[in-house]
Amino acid sequence: MQCFPSLVLALSSLLGALALLQLSLYLRVPSRYGKHEERLCRPRGRLPARCAWFLQELPSFLVPALLLAVRSPPRLEPLGCRLLCCLFCWHYFYRTFIYPFFTRGRPFPLQLLFFGTLFCIYNGFLQGYYLIYCAEYPNDWCTDIRFTSGLFLFLLGMGINIHSDLLLRQLRKPGEVTYKIPRGGLFTYVSGANYFGEIVEWFGFAIATWSLPAFAFAFFTLCCIGPRAYHHHRYYLKTFTDYPKSRKALIPFVF
């Protein structure tokens, strides 16, 4: 396989367009899974959350890992490029092999699982293909301010995301499906602390890679889970009369 810059441009532009489509579809109404599902107890057309998240996220890990494995000759240099590819796979290793096995979420709708899986194949291919076949970095990229500041944001965001996922999980005992007010960590300031972490993470990745595909994905993430954080916030305000009034939806002290 070789690098086709026009393919990277086309796929990144399409990802940007999907982000706008996502925003237009889900700004007013939330995507119907988790707390925003209308008929919560209907088991038909759903898969247990563990299975669904594993299947949906697997391609985001597998596709770049396969691309890396089949590249001949193997891409070993520069170090910056290898590290960036590992960061992407590292996040999706967590999301595929760790997150699903601890989730206490409700069953996930098959229809969204189908589109989510397609999305993960698409994005896994785009990010992996770009980093493994196209990206060119100078040998000292690891000391560039874009790499170091981006890596810092990525790690900070990932830490917030994983910690917030854990706090949400601890709200329920095994088998429980009720919703409670999340507390602690960044939930002290925002309703969508896990989403805030994920958005910071992918903007950090975009800065560290300084690439169009990664900026397109960070933009998609913002358009996808930004509105969802807002819908979660509204849900909490409507459901819990004692919900902390100073808490914002997504960005501490701002929004």
Distances from the Cα of 40 to the Cα of 107, 136, 198, 232, angstroms: 9, 48, 26, 16
Cα within 13 Å of Cα(24), Cβ side = 6
Q: With contacts defined by CB under 6 A, name the span among 5-13, 21-29, 70-78, 208-216 that binds ligand NDX.
A: 21-29
Token duo for residue 126: 């785009």
The rounded distance, in Å, linking the Cα atoms of 162 and 147 is: 22
105 binds ligand NDX (CB under 6 A): yes
Query: Which is nearest to 168 in space by CA: 199, 201, 193, 198?
Result: 193
- State which of residues 103, 127, 209, 211 lies at the interface with ligand NDX (CB under 6 A): 103
- State which of residues 9, 14, 21, 79 lies at the interface with ligand NDX (CB under 6 A): 21
Q: Of 75 and 104, which CB lies nearer to ligand NDX in the complex structure? A: 104
85 binds ligand NDX (CB under 6 A): no
**Residue number, nearest CB to ligand NDX:** 105
Q: For ligand NDX, what does the binding mask look like between residues 135 and 174, x meaning CB under 6 A?
A: --------------------------x---x--x--xx--
Q: With contacts defined by CB under 6 A, name the span among 20-28, 142-150, 152-160, 240-248 that binds ligand NDX.
A: 20-28
Q: For ligand NDX, what does the binding mask look like between residues 200 and 239, x meaning CB under 6 A?
A: ---------------------x--xx--x-----------
Radius of gyration of the chain (CA): 19
39-68 residues in contact with ligand NDX (CB under 6 A) are: 49, 56
Query: Which is nearest to 213 in space by CA: 95, 118, 129, 149?
Result: 129
Q: Are 133 and 3 within 8 A, CB to CB?
A: yes
Residue for token digits 């999305």?
Answer: 119
Q: Of 79 and 177, which CB lies nearer to ligand NDX in the complex structure? A: 177
185-204 residues in contact with ligand NDX (CB under 6 A) are: 194-195, 198
User: Looking at residue 47, what DSSP letter applies?
Assistant: E
Name the minimum Å distance from CB 76 to ligand NDX.
29
Query: Which is nearest to 151 in space by CA: 78, 201, 85, 90?
Result: 201
